[in-house]
Structure 1
């Protein structure tokens, strides 16, 4: 199982902005920091702002900052919003010889629930509780 690039970028944006929340961050600086396309980040930031995680400011001196405290941003909720709640495997509508006798879909659904329960135990603040990560995020800020 692998999270989408969109979800990866979503978490990276939150990490960067949270550690530099004393000022506005820009798409260009985040893109430069991570080596990511500005266009990819634009979609991520739009989704995060629409979900209420980020506050955006337009104009020459515009940028983004967190709209909530890191303690109030649940990692599981962010991942669920970015990934959606689709099952890992969806056997409905398939003409499968094992239909009705296979336990794989249930086992994967249980695993997915356990994965999300674990992520739900963590806030953005928990993820940033790492001195080396903080130094890297702040040290390279413009």
Structure 2
């Protein structure tokens, strides 16, 4: 299983914001510069995370972004499920656009579906708070 860059960057944004003290505001540019990610790409991610209710976006001169919930209230499995475009591990997972002559009798699809479910279920056991337990190390890496 491989997550898209979109989901990876979404999780990085949430980690960055979770490390801010007292829901302090920061800017998209700040996050983009820290992670060396395109600001334009992050703008789409920030917009979506706002629509999903994970972050607050405040417009204006003194605006910025911050977490909308406490880190312990943000479930990683839920974030991944909401930010991944699809979970088409192999073509036969895509009901609209696949062709495989053995699909109707193939056991692989069912095994992969079980593995995917296990993957998501493991992620559901963790929150954003779990990802920032090592705050000191993360601060050092993000500031260098």
Query: Scaled by the length of structure 1, what TM-score is found?
Result: 0.89
Q: Secondary structure at the match of 2:44?
A: helix
**Aligned-residue CA RMSD (Å):** 1.8
Once the two structures are TM-superposed, the CA of residue 21 in structure 1 deviates from its matched residue by 4.3
Gaps of 5+ in 1: none
Task: Report the equivalent of 2:114.
Answer: 110
| Aligned residue pair count | 139
Once the two structures are TM-superposed, the CA of residue 135 in structure 1 deviates from its matched residue by 3.8
Once the two structures are TM-superposed, the CA of residue 88 in structure 1 deviates from its matched residue by 2.1
Task: Report the equivalent of 1:89.
Answer: 90
Task: Report the equivalent of 2:81.
Answer: 80
Query: After TM superposition, what 4+ stretches of structure 1 lie above 6 angstroms from structure 2?
Result: none
Once the two structures are TM-superposed, the CA of residue 122 in structure 1 deviates from its matched residue by 0.0
Distance 1:80 1:64, change over 3 A: same
Gaps of 5+ in 2: none
Question: What does the per-residue CA deviation read over 1:33-68, in whole Å, with 9 as the maximum and x for residues that have no partner?
Answer: 000111011001000000000001001111001000
Question: What does the per-residue CA deviation read over 1:86-125, in whole Å, with 9 as the maximum and x for residues that have no partner?
Answer: 4423424644332322111101100100000000000000
Task: Report the equivalent of 1:119.
Answer: 123
Task: Report the equivalent of 1:2.
Answer: 2
Task: Report the equivalent of 2:138.
Answer: 133
Farther off after superposition, 81-90 or 39-48: 81-90
Farther off after superposition, 22-31 or 74-83: 22-31
Distance 1:100 1:34, change over 3 A: same
